[in-house]
Chains A and B, each alone.
Chain A
Amino acid sequence: MNGETRDLGPGGLLEAASALLQSGYRLALVAGLDDERGLRVNYSFLAPGRDPVELRVTLDQQTRRGVSLAALSFPASRFERELFDLYGIDPVGHPQRRPLVRHAHWPEAYHPMAKGAGPAPTLHPDDGGYPFIAVEGPGVYEIPVGPVHAGLIEPGHFRFSVVGETILKMKARLWFTHKGIERLVEGKSVEEVARVAERISGDSAVAHGLAFTRAVEDALRITLAPDVEARRAVALELERLYNHVSDLGALANDVGFGLAQAKALTLRERLLRLNERVSGRRLLRGVITVGGARLLDAPTGTELDEIEARVAELTAMTLAQSIVVDRFTGTGVLSLEAVRELGVVGLVARASGLDLDARRDHPIEGVTVAPVVVATSGDVLARYQVRRDEVAASLAALRGAVAGVSTFHLAGSSGSGAGLGVVEGWRGPVVHRVELLDGRVTRLKVVDPSFLNWPALAVALADTIVPDFPLVNKSFNLSYAGNDL
């Protein structure tokens, strides 16, 4: 693996993690691993322009007592809750050991990723209800929404405590689409897992596919030719384009400006057809292969000009509508301070002023780095503008793209090792950590930016009114599938 790995005892972990966090690293991924060689937890830290650092702790497989970093990092506290549900690792000292992944229909002692957990047990009816902390006071009432929604939306349950129309507190319950992907891929070949990775979150096929293959290439120490990486970057930017354009329309639609939505949908269709020509697939699956990239054609300058003009027209028309601007401005503000404390990443973090972009921070040879778009106001308008400007930057980056197909034959099937892959998808950094044994995946840990950003949605809703929630939610546009895994 590229970068440094340190084996530590539970005592040393706290100290080392604290030093890393203070020197500008962020905790990007925590992977448990429970097998014949013991119970380990790997903490992957990332920092702009520096090599990743991995801290590894080996725990007692019997007592399963872990160490909690919750006092140092908010993301760590959620990773630890996940580890408790999936591995039964008890984060000693954790302030909130509530279940995160586990819903009430799982038997309490069943930890699916623990060694010898066996097949899924019989699930009981979810009779735990949804215990939420009740906000009490005169005129406070609760609005439960979901997990079944009126539109074509993924499942999530939201519990609003409201007085009048003002949201006092919002709690989200996710993991309705927990599919056990990390267990599913164990023992499969890297080619098979690459196909699964592309399907983790349907709108981020390239980002997840690429993060996985980069992790594999990191583990096997494969360096690719710059032109292969350039082709992969084309697919990544095309994915960003169609998703951002959809959101530019959907945000307008959520304030009732259907005309912009209609224009955005036709433009999205235009982009999907471009994807199909370029990759053979409308949602860009199959472009990224382990060690290769399969780009059948490249977007032409005329096409990019046309798309650029249409996006400019769409966004100008939307922001010329004073009601739309009024609805966007000052709605769902997420402060830079909250972004830092919660460990928010990606587009949402940049809209609040955090200058963080894996494309620039972890550069790849052969890929031109697009300028990083940052806004400061942290409201829905900022998240709209960041999308708009990233579309322009992506279009600029796509100019001069060259098509080509290259495949790579893994030298035998004896490759072993651990690797980390980081990709700036359209939502933010997608991180995969893989362990290989003789060319087979023994452990895959996936972190979609949605996992880190979901808690920020509740924070951004403070002092927002109920009818503005869908708008704020759409401006984050987080993935359920990528979060629930």
Chain B
Amino acid sequence: MSLATVVVGLVQLALVVVGGPLLLGLMRRVRSRLEGRDGPAIAQPWRDIAKLAHKQRTRPTESSWIFAAAPLVLVATAATVAALGPLISLTPPLAASTDFIAVIFVLLVGSVALALAALDTGTAFGGMGASRALTIGALVEPALLVAVLALSLPLHSTNLVAIVADGLRHASVLVGPSHLLALASFIVVILAESGRLPVDNPSTHLELTMIYEALILEYSGPDLALVTLGESMRLAIWLGLFVNLVAPAGIAANATAAGLVLGVVAVTLKVAVVGVVVAFFEVTTAKLRLFRLPELLAGGFILALLGVVTGAVMR
């Protein structure tokens, strides 16, 4: 691990930490505007995090260390992927071992930690949220793994950095049906994993309808600040990986200063664009009935599977 790759990792981490809440703020702002409201400032999630960090922390009396550790696990796993994933450069630390499946599983460790913490509270809402979140998780994962398989077929490698680099070298890969189908599946997975519409309504106050929000109902103060930060980082990471798989243009091929600056600008712009598109989509859709979600996620799985099949046939 050279110094240059460490610098890349640190820059990526800083970008995701700072940019995650801003991405959330941007999406809320766009949504407000589309609905004819002025909406809060883009920096509002940061203000909320700063406010929460100074507030008193309360924890359920029955909860154990799991509840206390989950926000840290969430942020730590997100930070790991933020530093190691190909976001601004093709030379992140440990590039040779940035396995796509490992990346996904590290992120899932964060999801599972939150679900366990919700169960740990012993409240009905925590259990309900955990049950719903893990049900969706179980449906999301097959689609995700098959999508990874489709993306890794051309290279015979699940190395995420290599897949992105291949896209950068051979533009033809990017428009191949296998690649496109896998990415279509990937976006369904991202919407489900990050609790966006039509899977979950992140802005509801109705406790009984919540999926991911129900998991974190018992968190307060600095714990809630960490959870908010961690979830926005995850959203930024998912979208960052997605845009680099769709259109890797602008990502730095090496760790020169100019390349990194360009990489930061490129990934920020691309993620912002996708964030705005997701916000547009959210305004025009509604939340699916809970029992319809398997149909949506099965659709995602089928898309990924088709991606694998076409990839195999066309070789």
Contacts and interface: CB of A to CB of B under 8 A. Distances in A.
A256 B35 contact: no
A262 B201 contact: no
A338 interface: no
7 contacts: A143-B124, A143-B208, A145-B207, A165-B290, A323-B288, A466-B128, A467-B209
Interface stretch (B10-18, B153-161, B278-286): B278-286
Interface of B: 31, 34-37, 124-125, 127-128, 132, 197-198, 201, 203-209, 283-292
Contacts of A178: none
A259 B285 CA distance: 9
A466 B208 CA distance: 6
A252 interface: yes
B128 A262 contact: no
A223 interface: no
B124 A151 contact: no
A79 interface: no
Given A141-B124, A255-B286, A321-B286, A262 B36 contact: yes
Contact of B207 (A149, A321, A468): A149
Contacts of A262: 35-37
Contacts of A468: 289
A143 B127 CA distance: 10
Contacts of B124: 141-144
Contacts of B206: 150-151, 254, 470
Contacts, number: 81
Interface in A199-256: 252, 254-256
A107 interface: no
A468 B289 CA distance: 8
Interface of A: 141-145, 149-151, 165, 252, 254-259, 261-263, 266, 321, 323-324, 326-327, 465-471
Describe A's contact surface by its main secondary structure. helix
B208 A151 contact: no
Contacts of B209: 254, 467, 470-471
Nearest to B217: A150
Contacts of A266: 36
A327 B290 contact: no
Nearest to A326: B289
A323 B286 contact: yes
Closest 8 CB pairs of A and B: A256-B287, A262-B35, A151-B205, A256-B201, A257-B286, A470-B206, A323-B286, A143-B124
A244 B57 CA distance: 41
Nearest to B209: A467
Contact of A327 (B34, B35, B289): B289
A263 B36 CA distance: 8
B286 A252 contact: yes
A165 B205 contact: no
A153 to B, nearest CB: 9
Nearest to B37: A262
Interface centre among A141, A258, A466 (most CB of B within 10 A): A258
Contact of A321 (B127, B285, B289): B285
